Amino acid sequence: MSHSWGHRLRSAIADRGRLCVGIDPHPALLDAWGLPRTAEGLETFAEICVEAFTGEVGLVKPQVAFFEAYGSAGFAVLERTISVLRDAGTLVVADAKRGDIGSTMDAYAQAWLGDSPLASDSVTVSPYLGFGALAPTLELARQNARGIFVLARTSNPEGGVLQQSSADGVSVAQSIVNAAVDANSDGRDTVGLVVGATRDHGLDLSQFNGPILAPGLGAQGATAADLADIFAGSTELLLPNTSRGVLKHGPSVSALREAAMRDRDEIEAALAH
């Protein structure tokens, strides 16, 4: 297990903390940073983020959609961004939220967890075509000591209508948690969950020992002080995620770095008690 995803993740947390910072080049942020809404502006945005975050945080999460919006030029920027981050030893969570079946899901797996120019350390995936449909991604992640983060209870209010609906007394979100527990029975922590930090998730996480990506810190209202209560008993591999809360301090590299370090240290202090 010394080269498993769980081992790699624990090493990153020990070295640089558990904060996961997003690279979300939203058009409004490009404007605020004085950058054009072009592939060139996108690249400058990403380069500033990479300079600010490498060496300071354990994980960085590029939001794929904001790169995809620029077509092939945007994907080229994303490829370079992922490569530079990984070469610097920063774990990359590709926030792609892919989900499909059969050979199509296998192709997504090869894109994000194989040997393609987009290959990352982990990827977000959607289980709403059935958890079993994620099998190609899960198997490739295991082979390559990488991880997947499965959407369970997301931070957006609309998600609750589906995720909290239930059959036989078990919510959809809880069924995903239970499937993830089974998938991680080999001890490699390959399957993580996405559980928003912005509300009472209503999940029983007592049997789940894998990583939890927790969006919602900062701009969406969650604070570091909330985490210990929201995720009581499940904080070992908790990865709080902030994007806009840090990115609003750009385009200054030093201001971005200081904001990320401040959030990182607040999280570590809050979860140490």
- Is 97 annotated as catalytic? yes
Instruction: Choose the catalytic residue: 97, 244, 248, 249.
Output: 97
Q: How many CB atoms lie within 10 A of CB 116?
A: 12
Assigned token pair, 194? 């996405």
Q: Return the SS3 of 232.
A: coil
| Inter-residue contact 239 to 214 (CB < 8 Å) | yes
| Inter-residue contact 27 to 248 (CB < 8 Å) | no
Tokens 């570590």 correspond to what residue? 268
Assigned token pair, 160? 């609750």
| CA dihedral angle for residue 247, residue 9, residue 15, residue 111, rounded to 10 degrees | -50
Say how far apart CA 44 and CA 49 lie, in whole Å: 9
Q: Reduce the secondary structure of 43-66 to three states and give it as a string.
A: HHHHHHHHHHHCCCCCEEEEEHHH
Q: What is the DSSP string of 154-212?
A: -SSTTHHHHHT-EETTEEHHHHHHHHHHHHTTTSS--EEEEE-SSS------TT--S-E
CA angle in degrees (0–180, nearest 5) for 196-201-204:
120
Q: What residues are labeled active site?
A: 97
